[in-house]
């Protein structure tokens, strides 16, 4: 019961705040981490974990070891918590009955009084297709819609930090 209450509260927060990531402003580019590189379809799907969140990302989740779909950043500085089914929860184009909800939790908390935007430079693996997004208040609840299905490598930059996640978007 407590898991359902927390999950409902988080879904509501994701819906209310930042319904869609704003396009990235020109001139602002997130630099890829040193370990950046293309990821195969199988590798992209393998990065998703359906299990307990890292200890530092469990705030507000009860019980603390609840199993939830998430993808860890390559550097371990951020986690993308995915809302939806156990196999996939992100769609391109977005489904009419389900948003592409991602709760971004950074390992280091941001100062409350001076939020820093999070820029996203997304590349569809195996193509030259690039999409830019900006979350004006930094990591937190969001809907990140990308233009095509497949494995997307997202280079993230916020508050002087950088990390990278690979997210699978299913054709809707």
The string of pLDDT tens digits covering residues 100-142 is: 999 999 998 776 666 789 999 999 999 999 999 999 999 999 9
Measured CA angle at 157 (ends 166, 57), to 5 deg:
65
> What residues in the chain have per-residue pLDDT under 50?
1-20, 22-36
* pTM, entire model: 0.77
Residue 122's closest CA among 166, 171, 70, 161?
Answer: 166
């Amino acid at each position: 019961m407590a898991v359902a209450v927390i999950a409902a509260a988080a879904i509501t927060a994701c819906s209310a705040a930042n319904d869609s990531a704003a396009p990235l402003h020109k001139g602002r580019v997130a630099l890829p981490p040193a370990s950046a590189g293309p990821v195969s379809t199988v590798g992209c799907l393998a990065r998703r974990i359906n299990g307990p969140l890292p200890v530092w990302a469990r705030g507000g989740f009860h019980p603390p070891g609840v199993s939830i779909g998430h993808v860890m950043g390559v550097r371990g500085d951020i986690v993308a918590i995915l809302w939806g089914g156990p196999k996939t929860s992100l769609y391109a184009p977005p489904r009419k009955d389900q948003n592409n909800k991602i709760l971004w939790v950074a390992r280091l908390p941001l100062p409350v009084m001076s939020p820093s935007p999070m820029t996203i430079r997304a590349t569809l693996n195996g193509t030259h297709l690039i999409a830019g997004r900006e979350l004006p208040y930094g990591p937190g609840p969001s809907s990140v819609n990308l233009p095509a299905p497949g494995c997307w490598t997202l280079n993230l930059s916020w508050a002087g930090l950088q990390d990278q996640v690979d997210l699978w978007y299913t054709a809707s």
